[in-house]
Structure 1
Amino acid sequence: MIRVLVVDDDFMVARIHRGFVERTPGFEVVGVAHNAAEALVAVEELAPDLVLLDVYLPDVLGLDLLQQMREVKPDVDVIVISAAREAETVRRALRGGIVHYLIKPFSYDDLRQRLVHYQEAYGQLAVAEAEADQADVDRVFGGASGPTASARLPKGFSAETLRLVEEALRGAGTDLSAAETGEVVGIARVSARRYLEHLVTLGRAEVRLKYGEVGRPERRYAWR
């Protein structure tokens, strides 16, 4: 589970962003801070993996806080979420080593995509062996090594739908049937089963057979 700290001076906005994060499988909000002082204490005491950081805070500019947080916890990752659109602000944030920069206002899907990228790219790099290969690095920086992920998908598959199925399975905490997965993702049972079987082929999921009193056993799927 990825531990997230939300930092925003607007109480209502912070509540909305907290809700967005908590809707995303694999993430939990461990704290909310409304100014830089609270954020520094939270980083030290709660040790989040990821901070959603607003630029405009009442006591310290968020980009200055970014450096202070790194002094407290050098390995903390940051996604800047701000209404600040100035090119220099964006450049400074990038030089500070942020993961993403998301301009307000944004939808849940906008944030979810950034969170999923962080989860997949940085998570895989964290569990890599002593050396990362080019594919590991490309996932972090958004590049591509060889054919794109979409090009490697079976005909008729959508990379976005596959990602949603992965999220549903990974965040379920138990095994799911194709029908249950389809209901979570919003696709037909037959389509969900095709994506689930593809994940089994890739070695990302496993099949568990559930036997009833009569009839054929139900195929259920679990994240590996």
Structure 2
Amino acid sequence: MARILVMDDSAFMRTLLRGALEAAGHEVEDFLPMSALEVLKKTKEWKPDLVLTDYHMPLIKGDEVARMAQRGCPDARILVLTATRDPDVEARLRRSGASLVLYKPMAAPEVLRHAEELLAQ
């Protein structure tokens, strides 16, 4: 069982991902980050094994989430979901600490499979 932190501006997506991850036996915390400092604080306190985040949120982008999550919990893997198919965005995410970038739409079981592959590394 891993500790997984889910961040997304969509309550529906947070609930969907949380359900799939918990059904697979993982401990899941989810929230909508309002700032980079919130991400830093949450990752320092909760120490997730994996951070699963959306790229495009109203107040913070996935690259900033990745950067702050790495500062807060350097051992955590970071999986970013995005609908933005732009090589520059993916490169920026990788430089910021993203372990894997997945493109939406993607079904929850597929996200779970990728998350578990990252956790196994």
Which range, TM-score by smaller chain? 0.7 to 0.9
Q: Aligned ranges for residues 46-125 of structure 1 at < 5 Å?
A: 46-120=46-120, 122=121
Runs of 5+ unmatched residues, structure 2: none
In structure 1, C-alpha distance between the alignment counterparts of 2:112 and 2:6, rounded to whole Å: 14
The structural deviation recorded for 1:36 is 4.3
Counterpart position of 2:33: 35
Given that 1:35 and 1:58 are in contact with CA atoms closer than 8 Å, whether structure 2 keeps it comes out as no
Larger Rg: 1
The structural deviation recorded for 1:93 is 1.6
Counterpart position of 2:2: 2
The structural deviation recorded for 1:41 is 2.8
Runs of 5+ unmatched residues, structure 1: 123-224
Given that 2:49 and 2:119 are in contact with CA atoms closer than 8 Å, whether structure 1 keeps it comes out as no
Letter in 2 for 1:83: A
| Aligned-pair identity (%) | 28
TM-score, normalised to structure 1, is: 0.49
Counterpart position of 1:17: 17
In structure 2, C-alpha distance between the alignment counterparts of 1:88 and 1:23, rounded to whole Å: 35
**Equivalent residue pairs, number:** 119
The alignment partner of 1:43 has SS state of helix
Q: Aligned ranges for residues 184-199 of structure 1 at < 5 Å?
A: none
